[in-house]
Structure 1
Amino acid sequence: MRTKQQLAQERLASVLGRRAAVRAADLARELEISVPTLHRLLAASPLPVLVAGKARRTRYALRRTVRGDSGEYPLYAVDASGRATQLATLSAVAPSGSWMALTGTDWPLIEETREGWWDGLPYPLYDMRPQGYLGRQLARAIQRELAVPDHPDVWNDDDILFALSRVGTDTVGNLILGDTACERWQREGLSTLEPLREASTAAAYADLAEQALAAGVAGSSAAGEFPKFPARRDLPGRPTPHVLVKFSGADDSPAVRRWADLLVCEHLALEAVRALPGVAGAHSRVLSHAGRTFLEVERFDRHGPFGRSPLISLETVNAALLGLDAHDWTRLADGLVAASLLETEDSARIHRLWWFGRLIANTDMHPGNLSFQPLSGRLHPAPAYDMLPMRYAPLTGGELPASEWTPPLPLPRERETWLAACEAALTFWERMAADARISAAFRALGSRHGQALRDLAERV
């Protein structure tokens, strides 16, 4: 007859396989043995058991493989000088989820995550996954090689882990997951072509746009829906050659003309937003070639040719650290202040930016369009991006919106914030109305909105 210890040994894998982050007392109780016997059992077991935590906080889990990998991945962080160091180690655990300790790093944590146990992936990895236009292009490019679905929105956590560990070399922020991806990043750094020279940049962008439309762009997963491609250009005086380039179609149809107008408007909005106290905007410029309009936006998570800095979206921060049922930037910012993750003045900056967006008819201010730079366990607003009057984007099918937008009014407590945002918004509408790169009809609309907002400001 088998002893109780032998029976416990046989059941250990199945019990751990059903429960992750289990305490010794709970595990011993389920195996019907004492805690000292459990410790001897674990010491002698050939199972890949993960032990994390100290003293009463010690938890146990069964490591699991991921698509043939061991399920253990080093996580590297690239600093502003371009040097990579290991930040942490991620371990996939059964039956699902992972363990990775982020204590002592810049990443903010809440009590539930301080011990390193995650129901899914550690939250900084979710913004690294392929997203938007470039994400879909990347997924289509690697689906056969890596046996992942051709649309990243349906990827599960293991798909994300496996793909990032193979091709995640140019993701949002400064993290690289796994040795294979890190080695690939090192090779790419050694073999990278020279940045585009200024004289040939516009023509090169026209070629890259054709390539992006024809075959997709592998290697980058920066989020966004507008057609775009990553590039490196040599622009004297700028801190990095790394840019993302959005582009319009090449014909002169009403829908394409409107998208071209909106690209110019985004550039003007990113300039105007800098008038808001304490608010920065991504550096951008507009180029034209071969019938296309290009908006070049400099990446603020890149420094020099190889340096990087961390970045996280409000969408991921809310899901991981707040869990609020809200999409309003101001409500989420106030929630971060209440959780001691954001300074009050930084929340005030977000309030001003949010009102600026509303006053330039930006109807696409979802939580993925605002980001933060983590530092010493707190969050700091990153420069503004994707700020434009999306109320006037072409509808599905190519039709242009028929009705005009009406500027919103503030509640009494929002008056000062509204007025500050209004001043910057007026600058935007005035510059839009005067910019010859924008079609005459859209310039006229900007002039009307500027006058309407000016009249409204006198009554607020």
Structure 2
Amino acid sequence: MARSEPLAATTMGLETALALQAPASAAGLAEAVRVSVPTLHRMLQRLPAGRLISAGQARRARYALRRPLRGVFADVPVYAIDTEGRAELLGPLALLQPQGAWLALAGSDWPVPEDARDGWWPGLPYPLYDMRPQGYMGRLFARAEHRALGVSPDPQAWTDDDVVHVLSQRGFDASGHLLLGDAAYADWQALRLNQPPPLSPDETPAAYAALAARAVATGVPGSSAAGEFPKFAARREVSGDLPSDTPHVLVKFSGADDSPTVRRWADLLVCEHLALQQAATLPGVAAARSRVLLHEGRTFLEVERFDRHGTHGRSPLCSLETVNAALLGDASRDWTHLARRLAAAGRLAEEGVASVAHLWWFGRLIANTDMHAGNLSFRPASGRLLVAPAYDMLPMLHAPLAGGEVAAREFEPPLPLPPQRAVWQAACMAALAFWQAAAQDQRISSGFRALCERHHARLQQVAPYA
């Protein structure tokens, strides 16, 4: 192997090799620049200070160059907030050339894939992906802030660098318990010191009406027509009729007129509240607590944030979609299949598999046709996953079409295979209770109550054949 090249040229070749393949082993780099491994180690020590990242012991040792974020090579500190509102440094996040990142999560609550046990990630570490602005509120944020942050107004078009930049500058109230960067941490501290008081019970309805009007005026056109409720975040007082440990809520709302489309969305909001109540009766299943408010022609569904505790406390959260991408890479949309695979990998306890199965069948038996992997979440704990409370559970089969038309659709309850019968029967009991409650709830329109009554009768009819 030739070793006579000038040192400057060889060092340049080393930086080129690192920029093309990261993370790389010493043997791989030595072969790329045609030097011995001992010489390669000496060359690594001569690289500019702060550019090189190394991690892993012995044969697992790997090396990479930092990638600048908006021209800056500094690492981004990642802070974790606990349920008491205390923040600790989880570790530094480093972006890598030509792509990927480094963040050591081994030993934390987060399950870590085998190929990331030394901190190397092919993209961003997966706990960061659910922090991205997304959905109605994410698009609202992007439309308002994209010019100031230098990103696209469409958050779906953001690169990993864009996500890190946005979160490090504005991500003080993202999903879960993490904060990226000192600027976001400073905003969180300022919020703690200057947080406005929560809404009192008397002022909540009018305040929600005002917040809804503002969200509609500045928000995303056509969200409800596209199958997504407009929403806003709020803080309200915790009183005797609200058995809660958190004042933090997300509020979905309907339109204010009495058109068939608006009326249907209002019916579905009430149905979501009723469905969450019944989901909480399933074995091993918790559900987000909610309530319905009616004011100024709008229907409001207030859902408590279960990643918030008290005034300032937080807890980690990760969607099945993100967990699947990081730990499984499975194309299935079936929650029960993915839960079994997580259990087989030692990431989810068997009782968690049963909880997911009960919730999956319940959703199907209440005509929830929108059970994608973003609508189930987990809480990491000691390297494993716990099923988070249920949310977004409602009969989306009857949502208006994209153009606003309220189409008539029939519901045929799915039946189980023999090994699924016990779980199906438990879910069926909860689904029957849901359809009956919806058929009797006077907040729901008479036409939709009659539809719910028919679904209740049909489910009763097929239940003996399960």
Interval containing the TM-score (normalised by the shorter chain): over 0.9
In the alignment, what sits opposite 2:223?
none
How far apart, in 1, do the equivalents of 2:426 and 2:5 lie?
76
Which of 18, 21, 36 aligns to 1:19? It is 21
In the alignment, what sits opposite 2:313?
307
In the alignment, what sits opposite 1:38?
40
In the alignment, what sits opposite 1:220?
none
Which of 346, 351, 374 aligns to 1:345? It is 351
How many residue pairs are counted as aligned between the two chains? 453
In the alignment, what sits opposite 1:61?
64
- Structure 1's 347 and 259: CA in aligned 2 closer, same or farther, altered over 3 A? same
Contact 1:81–1:303 (CA under 8 A) maintained in structure 2: yes
* 447-456 or 306-315: bigger deviation: 447-456
In the alignment, what sits opposite 1:450?
456
In the alignment, what sits opposite 1:400?
406
In the alignment, what sits opposite 1:286?
292
Contact 2:284–2:354 (CA under 8 A) maintained in structure 1: no
Contact 1:244–1:297 (CA under 8 A) maintained in structure 2: yes
How far apart, in 2, do the equivalents of 1:458 and 1:244 lie?
39
Amino acid at match of 1:76: Y
In the alignment, what sits opposite 1:117?
120
* 232-241 or 124-133: bigger deviation: 232-241
SS state at 1:107 partner = coil
Contact 2:397–2:409 (CA under 8 A) maintained in structure 1: no
Amino acid at match of 2:317: L
Deviation at 1:375, TM superposition (A): 0.1
SS state at 1:388 partner = coil
1:256-306 deviations in whole A, cap 9, x for unaligned? 000000000000000011111111110000001111000000000000000
1:144-178 deviations in whole A, cap 9, x for unaligned? 00110001111111110100110011111101111
How far apart, in 1, do the equivalents of 2:382 and 2:87 lie?
19
* 440-449 or 11-20: bigger deviation: 11-20
How far apart, in 2, do the equivalents of 1:257 and 1:85 lie?
47
Which of 132, 136, 150 aligns to 1:147? It is 150
Contact 1:5–1:33 (CA under 8 A) maintained in structure 2: no
- After superposition, residues 99-178 of structure 1 pair within 5 angstroms as 99-178=102-181
SS state at 1:269 partner = helix
Which of 94, 97, 119 aligns to 2:97? It is 94
Deviation at 1:192, TM superposition (A): 1.0
In the alignment, what sits opposite 2:429?
423
How far apart, in 2, do the equivalents of 1:400 and 1:207 lie?
28
- Structure 1's 319 and 71: CA in aligned 2 closer, same or farther, altered over 3 A? farther
How far apart, in 1, do the equivalents of 2:367 and 2:5 lie?
73
Amino acid at match of 2:361: W
In the alignment, what sits opposite 1:370?
376
Contact 1:64–1:71 (CA under 8 A) maintained in structure 2: no
How far apart, in 2, do the equivalents of 1:18 and 1:280 lie?
47
Deviation at 1:69, TM superposition (A): 3.0
Contact 1:265–1:389 (CA under 8 A) maintained in structure 2: yes
Deviation at 1:119, TM superposition (A): 1.0
SS state at 1:77 partner = strand
- Is residue 230 from structure 1 mapped to residue 240 from structure 2 by the alignment? no
* 269-278 or 37-46: bigger deviation: 37-46
1:109-128 deviations in whole A, cap 9, x for unaligned? 12111121111100000000
In the alignment, what sits opposite 1:187?
190
How far apart, in 2, do the equivalents of 1:412 and 1:41 lie?
64
Contact 1:11–1:31 (CA under 8 A) maintained in structure 2: yes
SS state at 1:275 partner = coil
Which of 317, 330, 334 aligns to 1:324? It is 330
Deviation at 1:14, TM superposition (A): 1.4
Amino acid at match of 1:437: R
How far apart, in 2, do the equivalents of 1:137 and 1:69 lie?
28
Deviation at 1:5, TM superposition (A): 3.0
In the alignment, what sits opposite 1:221?
none
How far apart, in 2, do the equivalents of 1:6 and 1:435 lie?
78
In the alignment, what sits opposite 2:420?
414
Amino acid at match of 1:440: S
How far apart, in 2, do the equivalents of 1:117 and 1:61 lie?
10
How far apart, in 2, do the equivalents of 1:173 and 1:285 lie?
22
In the alignment, what sits opposite 2:440?
434
TM-score, length-normalised on structure 2?
0.95
How far apart, in 1, do the equivalents of 2:412 and 2:12 lie?
69
- Structure 1's 119 and 71: CA in aligned 2 closer, same or farther, altered over 3 A? farther
Runs of 4+ in structure 1 off by over 6 angstroms are none
SS state at 2:465 partner = coil
1:342-389 deviations in whole A, cap 9, x for unaligned? 011110111110000000000000000000000000001000000000
SS state at 2:76 partner = strand
1:39-92 deviations in whole A, cap 9, x for unaligned? 222222226111112222211101110113325111110000001101121100
Deviation at 1:10, TM superposition (A): 2.5
Please tell me the root mean square deviation across aligned C-alpha atoms, in Å.
Answer: 1.3
How far apart, in 2, do the equivalents of 1:155 and 1:44 lie?
35
Amino acid at match of 1:247: F
Amino acid at match of 1:46: P
SS state at 2:303 partner = strand
Amino acid at match of 1:399: E
SS state at 1:198 partner = coil
Amino acid at match of 1:410: P
Which of 303, 322, 325 aligns to 1:297? It is 303
- Structure 1's 3 and 112: CA in aligned 2 closer, same or farther, altered over 3 A? closer
